[in-house]
A and B are shown apart, each in its own frame.
Chain A
Amino acid sequence: MYKYILKRLLFLLPMMIIVSFIAFYLIDASSSSPGRIILEAQGVPEITQTLIEETNHKYGFDEPFVVRYFLWMKKAAQLDFGKSFVSNENVSTLILTSFFYTLKLTIATAVTIILFSVSLSVVCVFLKNKFVDKIIRSGMFFLAATPPYLIGIILIWLFSVKFNSLPTSGVGDFSHYILPVLANTIGYASFFFRMLRNSMLENIHENYVYFYRSSGVSEKKIIKHIIKNSLQTAVTAFSMAIPALIAGTAVIENIFAWPGIGRLCVAAIFNRDIPIIQAYVLLIGLFYCVFNILADIINAWINPKLREA
């Protein structure tokens, strides 16, 4: 197992080099001159070509692409992503502060997704084709097809406007989490619910389950085994969903005025704040790579067959 983990971790380095290169190149290839963007952001009234060239020289944008890439990488390795073109604040500090809020929202969402999808799939598997199963499946099918932003707006209208029971936006106590977490959870939970239910239905008819049943093993123990063996497909999808959750919270964060990384990135895109966008892309890329490897490791732990792959 340790050998397998080491092998997967070694794979992380080349993946991150590719991600960082793509992140740097795509932003760099955009047509706007960085010098002009900085001057515009600083509110300089008359932007001349000489001023743009001076600014480009000051920030090192006149250096060749490869030199700039390696300098950026060197600094990024030390978590230094430069300063924001707009606010002149340290990008690392901005990212870290907003990431903390996104992380809190993501963890709360991930926990509710697991609770919802596992408990509902267990209920549906053991009441297969009964009325409860059909109702849950229909509801989940409907919710899976509804975009999170629409769910968010409906939730705000229902709980904040109509019943005036929950806050519409901002960060605060537990009540501030309920609506954004619910809006984020519903879509993902219905996806994982269907995946887990199908996987559990396959496992429930396996001979090893028949053996447990015939031997009089308790249903509680049998469910534990079925869930463990059914998790394999869901684990990969769920591990990949966490970076997607972090990246995808941008819409929810904007609807609920949540000061997270998604909201920061959307603002940076509008302001063409290149250092923030580059840091964001690199960070999300890193998350995808790390969680991908984590999914492989968890899968290998659940299914020993994969350790040999």
Chain B
Amino acid sequence: MLEVKNVFKSYKKPDFFTMKRNMVLHDVSFSMDENECLGIIGESGSGKSTLSRLILGIEAPDRGEVLINRKSVKNRRERKGIVSAVFQDYTSSINPSATVHDTILESMQISKTKFNRQEAIELLNKVGLSEDYLYRHPHELSGGEVQRVCIARAIASKPMLIVLDEAISSLDASIQVTILDLLKNLKKEYNLSYLFITHDIQAAAYICDKLIIFKDGKIVEKIKTEDIKNVKEDYSKQLFNAVLAV
């Protein structure tokens, strides 16, 4: 379903006198199937978020291509309603002037022309929020509640793939587990595919079927989650041993 083929991405260095560029992603290739949850694990600054922006079609790669259902994500119409996202920074994730109702209905509008208030309420209930939240603004919600609304919004457009870019990282530990369980249930119910981008190995291991270990814009290793203790590369061993030691 998702194919990332030989993707390169660089940015110009923020120096007026140089034309040099920082290589952020270097020949990244991988694919994922429908109903799969693929985890991308890496340290901060390893290029995970850049990769997510390329997959979401927000930015274009320098070289290579990103395909969903064999269609390039570069084309806005091709990716409309097929891919959705939940971001880390919940404070800016929702349009500050829109209510929860407007936020969800706007997302429903992406995939179909007819939508109603009742469907929005049902979606809210699915993510564990009551009808009372429908006409609230983002500033009237807690971090966990905003992230639930973001998940409801992501599902509302009935996408095939949801990119979860550090979606639980800024939440309290207790809420993280609740949100992970919620994501697991929704995946089953809606036959969703997740691309779970995180630096949290435990969370990735909890929710993902497969893992990709990322370092300095390159893929170090691809493994199945059950093989987490049998990684081959030194960097992967270092990463997992550090977590296991804790």
Contacts and interface: CB of A to CB of B under 8 A. Distances in A.
A87 interface: no
Q: A interface, by DSSP: helix, strand, loop or mixed?
A: helix
A304 B87 contact: no
Given A216-B76, A217-B110, A304-B139, A210 B81 contact: no
A157 to B, nearest CB: 38
Contacts, number: 71
Contact of B56 (A213, A225, A229, A302): A213
A214 B83 contact: yes
Interface in B129-181: 137, 139, 153, 157, 159, 163
Nearest to B95: A208
Contacts of B77: 216
B229 interface: no
Contact of B58 (A206, A213, A225, A305): A213
A105 B200 CA distance: 61
B93 to A, nearest CB: 4
B162 to A, nearest CB: 10
B85 interface: yes
Interface residues of B, number: 31
Contact of A211 (B96, B139, B153): B153
A216 B81 contact: yes
A231 B135 CA distance: 23
Interface in B82-122: 82-85, 87, 89, 92-97, 106-107, 110
Interface in B32-80: 53, 56-58, 76-80
A215 interface: yes
B92 A216 contact: no
Interface of B: 53, 56-58, 76-85, 87, 89, 92-97, 106-107, 110, 137, 139, 153, 157, 159, 163
22 contacts: A207-B92, A208-B93, A208-B94, A208-B95, A210-B53, A210-B85, A214-B58, A214-B79, A214-B83, A214-B84, A215-B79, A215-B85, A216-B57, A216-B76, A216-B78, A216-B81, A217-B110, A229-B96, A303-B97, A304-B96, A304-B97, A304-B137
Interface of A: 206-208, 210-211, 213-219, 225, 228-229, 302-305
